Amino acid sequence: MSGLYTTQDLITVLTRFKRLPQFFLTYFNQQLNFETDEIAFDRVNLHFNGLAPFVYPTAKGRIGRQEGFKRIAVKPAYLKPKHVVDPNMILPVMPGEQALQGSMTNAQKRNAVIAYLLQKQDSAIENRWEWMAAQAMLNGYVDIEGEDYPKTRVDFFRDPALTITTDWTSGNPNRNGLDDLKDARFLVSDKSYSGAVIRDWMFGQQAWDLFWDMHKDELKDQMKTDQRGAETAITRLTDGLEGIEYIGRIAGINGAGEIRVWTNTQRYKDENNQLQYIMPQNAVLGLSQAIQGVRCYGAIMDGRAGYQALPKFPKNWEDNDPFVEYLMTQSAPLMVPVDPNSSVLLKVAP
């Protein structure tokens, strides 16, 4: 067999595989690496709607009052998927491929197993990034908990008013989904630092069924399902992403601006191997790019990584008595919304 892979070899192998498509992470398009094992950020009041004071041309300039801030610091939980490299492992055969493993040498089998396990670890880590981004936008906080990590809530201090409970079930005579979305948009514009405008709405399937039941008659002439011009960006967001469906655009009604609508039925396997929805199916999430999400990564506290801040660090090593070869990928992530008040969650049914 060939020797151990270097980190650069592993990264090179990794880049040969297609990344899992993601949605929530597209709202986190900035990145910060921290050279310590702690991620720290300041929550600053960033309302830039003040007016410059009038003064005489010969008067001294006035020193502006600095806004207060809150510092948040957390040691992110590590992600450390780890596997034993077993050349006798039976690899899944993709459609169109032939089962060639029987004709491979042991060294070739080992390389194929490492490539497969590396892809599996990479997918698990990026799935967790997506989950963290979704939780930050849905709740305004992320609860981190694991078998070896006590439950810790990283709170981004979204205004509590931006988690709204309403009733869209048929038993409520006053239900009006369009009014609820319009009111939520105005609330976000008032609460967000930048006056964010919510144009994108992600529905759980139950919430969409209730919404369509309420408004199908008035929406049948307003709903546009084409993806012309700027809508090609939406196509890129959803192409190949299982569990997310672009429904269309709803033109402005009753003074509300045009909105874009998706449904989300994405599911993931939790620590108990049970399928869970990444988004509550009885809820609606309003999204704005003004959230300015940042992908933060703490330093990898591993000498072979040089204690650097890296999004992912794969490594390969051996124990000799008895002989076991291991493969592991490490990451210390936290997905941080700069303006958490640029998202709003409506819980619309029990």
Q: Where are the domains of the chain?
A: 7-47+71-153+294-332, 159-293+339-347
DSSP annotation of 50 reads -
Select from 125, 128, 94, 127 the least CA-distant residue to 112: 94
Residues facing 154 on adjacent strands: 142
Give the pairing type, strands 163-165 and 344-347. Answer: parallel
Identical fold for domains 7-47+71-153+294-332 and 159-293+339-347, yes or no, is no
Cα–Cα distances in Å, from 118 out to 81, 82, 164, 306?
Answer: 9, 9, 41, 21
pLDDT in tens, 273-326: 888 999 999 999 999 999 999 999 988 888 888 888 889 999 999 888 788 999
pLDDT in tens, 44-58: 554 445 556 655 565
pLDDT in tens, 220-279: 766 766 554 444 444 444 444 578 888 888 876 555 578 889 999 988 888 888 889 999
**In this structure, what are the phi and psi dihedrals at residue 97, rounded to the nearest 5 degrees?**
-95, 155
Domain 159-293+339-347 CATH superfamily: capsid protein of prophage domain (3.30.1930.10)
pLDDT in tens, 327-346: 999 998 999 999 999 999 99
Report the chain's mean pLDDT, rounded to a whole number: 80
Write the CB contacts of 195 (distance below 8 Å, at least 6 apart in sequence): 49, 189
pLDDT at 138 over 90: yes
DSSP annotation of 189 reads H
- Give the per-residue pLDDT at 204: 96
Q: Is 8 helix (H, G, I), strand (E, B) or coil?
A: helix
The Cα 202–Cα 188 span in angstroms is 16
Q: Which residue has the tokens 């405008």?
A: 197
* Strand stretches in the chain, DSSP E: 30-33, 39-44, 69-74, 82-84, 141-146, 149-155, 163-165, 200-203, 223-224, 244-250, 259-264, 267-269, 275-277, 283-287, 293-297, 313-320, 323-330, 333-337, 344-347
Residues in the chain: 350
The share of the chain scoring above pLDDT 70, in percent, equals: 73
- Give the per-residue pLDDT at 96: 44
- Residue 10 pLDDT level (bands cut at 50, 70, 90): low
CB 202 within 8 A of CB 137: no
CATH 3.15.30.10 is held by the domain 7-47+71-153+294-332: yes
pLDDT in tens, 102-132: 567 777 788 888 888 988 899 889 989 999 9
